[in-house]
Chain A
């Protein structure tokens, strides 16, 4: 049923795929987190134009398929003269797409922090930015960690989109091994195995993180 020689014969391909999947996931993870915080702050800032930009960003990127966001970079940018290869376009697309979800999760977390906290911080003489940084955001992060960990898990799985734009990720090489060996079941069984190796530790880690946060309350 499963031919293990397919793994041993093609291990360099699988290895390169895993390497690129991990790289893309890490880059997109960090990028989307940073972007997510920025957009979330835009959305709740007292400046109208920033609110509009933030809302437009979130509504647009959350409501179109991930593949379309990637195509924006892969096929759309070249029209303007900027050609990014499959890996970069895929990672950027993944980053922007996930950041819109993270921005929403953070915004919900910030708004869940009792308004009294922010008022007390401003009343104590802190500027808006200082109030956010030292009082509101730390408390918001506690509420926001579970949905964010969930989004990161989705991000790792969504990284498979790189396979469609020749991004040299695990899914791409899975397709290639399948095309070369004609053993569909085995090639993709190994792909699943490696995705599980990436996602199971992530999900266990996020669950223990949640438990620890709940305790420290």
Chain B
């Protein structure tokens, strides 16, 4: 196994599993953040008395 070092079949398989997880995470995050972002954006600009400001505070803090 050490002959090929990081490029050995075992390690490549390991890396590919990680790659798969990265793709899956990215897809999940893109979809969910888009939906959540639209929701929060609308909430903020609908100017509901306390909710909008709370959402605004969270958004400003996290970003």
A-B contact count (CB 8 A): 4
* Inter-chain contacts of B63 with A (CB < 8 A): 153
Closest to A196 in B: B61
> In the bound complex, what is the Cα–Cα distance between A203 and B61 (angstroms)?
10
Measured between alpha carbons, how far is A200 from B57 in the docked complex, in Å? 11
- Does B60 interact with chain A (Cβ within 8 Å)? yes
Q: How far is the CA of A183 from the CA of B63 in the complex (A)?
A: 25
Which residues of B sit under 8 angstroms from A200, Cβ to Cβ?
Answer: 60
Chain B contacts for A203, CB-based, 8 A: 60
Return the chain A residue nearest B22 by Cβ.
Answer: A65
Contacts of A153 in B (CB 8 A): 63
Contact with B along A189-208 (1 / 0, CB 8 A): 00000001000100100000
**Chain B residue at minimal CB-CB distance from A200:** B60
Complex alpha-carbon distance, A196 and B60, angstroms: 10
Query: CB-nearest residue of chain B relative to A154?
Result: B63
Could you mark each residue 20-63 of chain B with 1 if its beta carbon is under 8 Å from any beta carbon of chain A, else 0?
Answer: 00000000000000000000000000000000000000001101
The complex places the Cα of A39 from the Cα of B60 at a distance, in Å, of 31
Cβ of B61: which chain A residues have Cβ within 8 Å of it? 196
Q: How far is the CB of B21 from chain A (nearest CB, A)?
A: 14
Q: How far is the CA of A164 from the CA of B61 in the complex (A)?
A: 23
Q: How far is the CB of B7 from chain A (nearest CB, A)?
A: 16
CB A107 to nearest CB in B, in angstroms, measures 24
- Shortest Cβ gap from A81 to chain B (Å): 21
Cα of A196 to Cα of B57 in the assembled complex, Å: 12
Q: Which B residues lie within 8 Å of A196 (CB)?
A: 61
Q: Give the residue name and chain of the B residue nearest to A153 (CB).
A: B63
The CA of A203 and the CA of B63, in the complex, are separated in Å by 10
Interface readout for A60-102 with B: 1 if CB under 8 Å, 0 if not? Answer: 0000000000000000000000000000000000000000000
CB distance from A119 to the nearest CB of B (A): 40
Which residues of A are found within 8 Å of B60, using beta-carbon distances? Answer: 200, 203
Residue of A nearest to B61 (CB): A196
- Can you list 4 A-B pairs, Cβ within 8 angstroms, ordered by A? A153-B63, A196-B61, A200-B60, A203-B60
* Shortest 4 CB-CB contacts between residues of A and residues of B: A196-B61, A203-B60, A200-B60, A153-B63
Q: Which residues of A contact B (CB under 8 A)?
A: 153, 196, 200, 203
